[in-house]
Structure 1
Amino acid sequence: MDSIIFDLDGTLWDPTETVVGGWNQVISSYKGAAKEVTIDNLQGIMGLPVPEVGRRLFPDADEDTRQKIMDECCDMECLVLSQQGGRLYARVEEVLQALSAKYKLFIVSNCQAGYIEAFYEYHQLQKYFTDYENPGRTGLSKGENIRLVMDRNHLMSPVYVGDIEGDRKAAGFAGIPFVYASYGFGEVSSYDYVIDRLDGLLELF
């Protein structure tokens, strides 16, 4: 193994408490076209592609309105996260520091452009990562973005760490082992390795 590629939400942090306030500020201006969201709502969609999030959270809005809501929510999300951050899982920086001494670290997340940058800006963890990618920049699926990061960084044997079934499928698409973060937001049908806390990676690798 030469590298570790991380999902973000449900793997390195839980941003939902910060995000819900920003989203509801946007939603309140749409006069009934969309209902306010809760932390439980957001935890249920974390890690999904942005268009799918819109369909699940705002099913009664027409397509144009839904797209406007999602665009504004995504912009607000990046703003509030850059200013307030999210809840990091226990020992995140300690784990990243230890792993980065042995492996190259990366983030590939199903998020909009600016989201990973907001994570970096508030928590100042970018020094541990070599590269990152998301569909907001590339328009590609998570599996394709994993392959993109692998190719441009000449990775030979990475693993992917994530918490939902989509992460497992993306790792499978990329042809690399999947580490299931069972403390996150979802369940998966199979995995190559499992951790019940982030620092379990130090025992695995």
Structure 2
Amino acid sequence: MNNLLKSQFDSIIFDLDGTLWDSSSNVVVAWQTAKEQVDYIKEDFTRPMVHSITGMTYKAIFETLLPYLTEEQREEFKALAGKYELEILYKKGGDLYPGLEQALEQLSKKYKLFIVSNCQSGYIEVFFKVSGFEHYFAGHQCYGAKNQPKAENIIDIIKDHELKAPVYVGDTLGDYTAATKAGVPFIFADYGFGEVEEGQVATISSLVELTALL
């Protein structure tokens, strides 16, 4: 662990899926429920399928998974999937990664904490409601709010909250790319769904390691 990182940052911006929790099991339930409402989806949805698109914008997810649909069909299914996703996750939640609350409690004493995710509007709020952890965070932003790339949402958080030295924590190459475009150092959470070979200032294998690092 690089102890020099302890004095470098004033804030931490987190990705959500694959970094703070894994909601993929219940996302599958939601998307399967949506599939039953239409007659044009060929395949069943699976956890590996959900993991493969984690980090993409909500629009890009269904363009990638369902390329054979017309734009009208894709928009209809996206709306249904989003509706059932929020409803089912509100009831059943996701799997919080081990040590999450302890990490947030400890880190929030020293840093301002934020979430920036490529999720739909309302998704971060569901995470807050089912986890009870909203009070640890000073703000959040998602793709669904402005339909803009993650890098721009990171920049908005920095400007809106006048951050001087943030660091981004995420689990995919897309997270790394967005952080880099926003001019923010990146910490790779290798327990998530993606791979980042180089460029990160540190790699963590658990949230406990993050508290030790920062």
**Does the pair score TM above 0.5?**
yes
Structure 2 unaligned regions, length at least 5: 1-8
Alignment of 1:86-101 (within 5 A): 86-101=94-109
Is 1:44 the counterpart of 2:90 in the alignment?
A: no
Q: May I ask how many residue pairs the two structures share in their alignment? A: 205
Match of 2:76 among 68, 82, 96: 68
Measure the CA separation in 1 of the matches of 2:143 and 2:51.
Answer: 20
- What residue number does 1:15 align with? 23
Query: If the length of structure 2 is used for normalisation, what is the TM-score?
Result: 0.93
- What residue number does 1:84 align with? 92
SS of the residue 2:105 aligns to: helix
What letter corresponds to residue 104 of structure 2 in structure 1?
Answer: L
Q: CA RMSD in A?
A: 1.0
- What residue number does 1:178 align with? 186
- What residue number does 2:196 align with? 188
Measure the CA separation in 1 of the matches of 2:43 and 2:117.
Answer: 26
1:39-59 CA distances to partner (integer Å, 9 max, x unpaired)? 110011111111211012112
- What residue number does 2:134 align with? 126
SS of the residue 2:25 aligns to: helix
Is 1:142 the counterpart of 2:155 in the alignment?
A: no
Is 1:198 the counterpart of 2:207 in the alignment?
A: yes
Query: If the length of structure 1 is used for normalisation, what is the TM-score?
Result: 0.97
What letter corresponds to residue 210 of structure 2 in structure 1?
Answer: L
Structure 1 unaligned regions, length at least 5: none
SS of the residue 2:113 aligns to: strand
Tell me how far 1:72 sits from its aligned partner: 1.1
What letter corresponds to residue 208 of structure 2 in structure 1?
Answer: D
Between stretches 106-115 and 192-201, larger displacement belongs to: 192-201
